[in-house]
Copies of this chain bind each other. A is one copy, B any other.
Amino acid sequence: MRAEQLESLLAEVASGRLTTSAALARLRHLPFEDLPFARIDHHRALRQGQPEVVFCEGKTPDQVVSICERLEAADGTFLGTRASDLVARQLRDRFPRTLWNPLARTVHLPLSDRPDQSPGTGTILVVSAGTSDLPVAEEAAVVADAFGNTVERLIDVGVAGMHRLLAAGEQLRRARVLIVVAGMEGALPSVVGGMVAAPVIAVPTSVGYGASFGGLAALLAMLNSCAAGVTVVNIDNGFGAAAAASRICQS
C-alpha cells in the first residue's frame, strides 16, 4: 500500500532513523504507479459500480473465464463485451449469477450489493435506426446500465420513415444524453441532433454492404453532421458510447 509506505518513510525520517538524504534518494525513484491518485481512481471506480470491462473477441473461453475470476475476486463484479455463446455458457457454469444478453453479446456479473440509488443523474436514451443495428444499440444499453445509469431504448426509427421519430419527440427531449446508433448512410444522429438540446453521441455500425465499406460511410456521415455538437465513436463501438454517456451523467 503506497500511502502507508510513504507514511512509514516519513515516520522514519521524523524519528531520525532515516537521514534526509537517504529519504530523498528513495523518493526520487518512487514508482509512479503506486502514487495515491492512481489508487483513489481505482477506489472511485469500485464505488460507482463500474466493473472492469473485458473485450472477449479473440480470446479463448478459458482466457475469459480466468480473467473474470480475477476480476470477481478483486471487485466482486465483471462485465464482458463481444462474448460468443460458448464464452457465455462457460462463464455461467462458473458464475451462475452471470447475466447474459445474447443480442448485445454481453456477460455481466453485477455486484451482489448494488445500491438501489443510481449514481448517475438523468436518463441515457439509446436510439437505433434499423433492426440490424440492434446488437450495437443493445451493447450500449447494457453497458450504460451496468455502469449504474438509468437507460431507455427507442428502436426502429430510421430516417426513411420520419413520422416514427417525430412521434417520439417528447421522449427524445427528456433524455440527459442520447446514444444514436445507425448503419448504412448514418443520417439519424443529424436528425436527432436537430431535435434536442442534450448531448448526442453517434455510433456508426458496420450494417450495410458494398459502398458502406464496413461502416465507413456511416462514420464519415456522422463526422460531417450538420447538427452542431454531435460527437462520434468508432464503428460498432456501443461500449465506448456508453462509457462516454456515463462520463457525462456521473462526473
Residues of chain A having any CB pair with chain B under 8 Å: 3, 6-7, 10-11, 13-14, 16, 19-21, 23-24, 27-29, 31-38, 41, 44, 53, 55, 57-58, 129-130, 132, 158-164, 166-167, 169-170, 176, 184-187, 190-191, 193-201, 204, 206, 208-237, 239-241, 243-244, 246-248, 250-251
Closest to A7 in B: B24
With contacts A10-B23, A221-B186 known, is A33 near B194, CB below 8 A? no
User: CA of A19 to CA of B236 in the docked complex: distance in angstroms?
Assistant: 50
A67 CB to closest chain B CB, in angstroms?
A: 9
User: CA of A243 to CA of B16 in the docked complex: distance in angstroms?
Assistant: 47
Query: CB-CB < 8 A to A37: which residues of B?
Result: 28, 169
A158 CB to closest chain B CB, in angstroms?
A: 5
User: CA of A227 to CA of B188 in the docked complex: distance in angstroms?
Assistant: 13
Closest to A198 in B: B251
User: CA of A158 to CA of B84 in the docked complex: distance in angstroms?
Assistant: 26
Interface of A, helix, strand, loop or mixed by DSSP: helix
Identify which of B20, B191, B239 contacts A14 (C-beta below 8 A): B20
With contacts A166-B33, A167-B34, A234-B210 known, is A248 near B199, CB below 8 A? yes
B32 contacts A167, CB within 8 Å? yes
Across the A-B interface, the 9 shortest Cβ-Cβ residue pairs: A210-B235, A187-B187, A160-B194, A229-B243, A231-B231, A217-B220, A33-B167, A32-B166, A228-B243
Query: CB-CB < 8 A to A239: which residues of B?
Result: 228
With contacts A231-B201, A235-B209 known, is A158 near B226, CB below 8 A? yes
A170 CB to closest chain B CB, in angstroms?
A: 7
B209 contacts A218, CB within 8 Å? no
A223 contacts B232, CB within 8 Å? yes
User: CA of A121 to CA of B233 in the docked complex: distance in angstroms?
Assistant: 25
B231 contacts A210, CB within 8 Å? no
A35 contacts B28, CB within 8 Å? yes
With contacts A23-B10, A197-B251 known, is A35 near B163, CB below 8 A? yes
A16 CB to closest chain B CB, in angstroms?
A: 7
Query: CB-CB < 8 A to A130: which residues of B?
Result: 226
Query: CB-CB < 8 A to A227: which residues of B?
Result: 159-160
Identify which of B33, B215, B233 contacts A164 (C-beta below 8 A): B33
Query: CB-CB < 8 A to A24: which residues of B?
Result: 3, 6-7, 10
